[in-house]
Amino acid sequence: IVFIAILTDRLPHEQQPLARRLGLGIAMVSRILLLLTLNWLKDMTAPLWEWTSLGIPRDLFPEDAHPFAEINGVSVRDIILLIGGLFLIFKSVHEIHAKMEGRDHGPSTGPKPTLRRVIAEIAVMDIVFSLDSVITAIGMANHLTVMVIAVMLAVVVMLVFASRISSFIEKHPTLKMLALSFLLLIGVMLVAEGIGTHFNKGYIYFAMTFSLLVEFLNIRTTVKEKRRTQSDHADD
């Protein structure tokens, strides 16, 4: 939802609700299609080639057998995660730079994003976001119907809250910057996963949750300060 909110923010205001609905609809369809191709997805984790077979010395890789196998073999999943992570890093840095330069709401010298372009970016990144979780669900193939229903319910919930979350992010610029930082962090994590280096995602999610709680406290404090200032002016 955060990624969709940031992408659709550059569109004309009247197109933003449609873009959010289409984006979430594509999210649901892509996840269901991935679930329906679980057997094919099993082959995506099989190595296409190994770096050592291309003449790269074994000494350059970790000594442990498991990390070596993860880094040495390159699969379709690794390539998709790597490309998706790099795209997410580029997009996040670009949006952060635009916001720092004050070009997020001002006149832009570059090409204006179109509805079709934004929907295409949402579709590509949704496949990247959902690929790893769907591959993890391969062992639950016997409960495919349950997983499809769960995906549909999740999208319905997101449709209900998408507009509210987008509006909330738009009203609080610091929260938008924090969201962009989260996307940048996720992009780095995807790149690391793509090259076979795994992080403990629990630490990353904890850091993101803690940062979000601190930001909510800052927003709450700012709102109270504004109300107190307005009350003082009214008394005067």
* Beta-bridge partners for 60: none
What are the Cα distances from residue 83, in Å, to 87, 189, 226? 6, 12, 44
Token pair of 135 as six digits = 């591959």
Residue 49 belongs to what H/E stretch?
strand 47-50
Q: What is the pLDDT of residues 21-52, one digit of tens each?
A: 888 888 788 888 877 776 666 666 677 777 76
Position 107 pLDDT exceeds 50: no
What is the per-residue pLDDT for 100?
79
Contacts of 109 (CB under 8 A, 6+ apart): none
Strand partners, 75: 47
* Threshold 0.85, pTM exceeds: no
What's the pLDDT tens digit per position in 111-167? 667 888 888 888 777 777 777 666 666 555 556 777 778 778 878 888 888 778 878
CA neighbor of 88 nearest in space, from 230, 171, 193, 15: 193
Domain definitions of the chain by residue range: 2-199
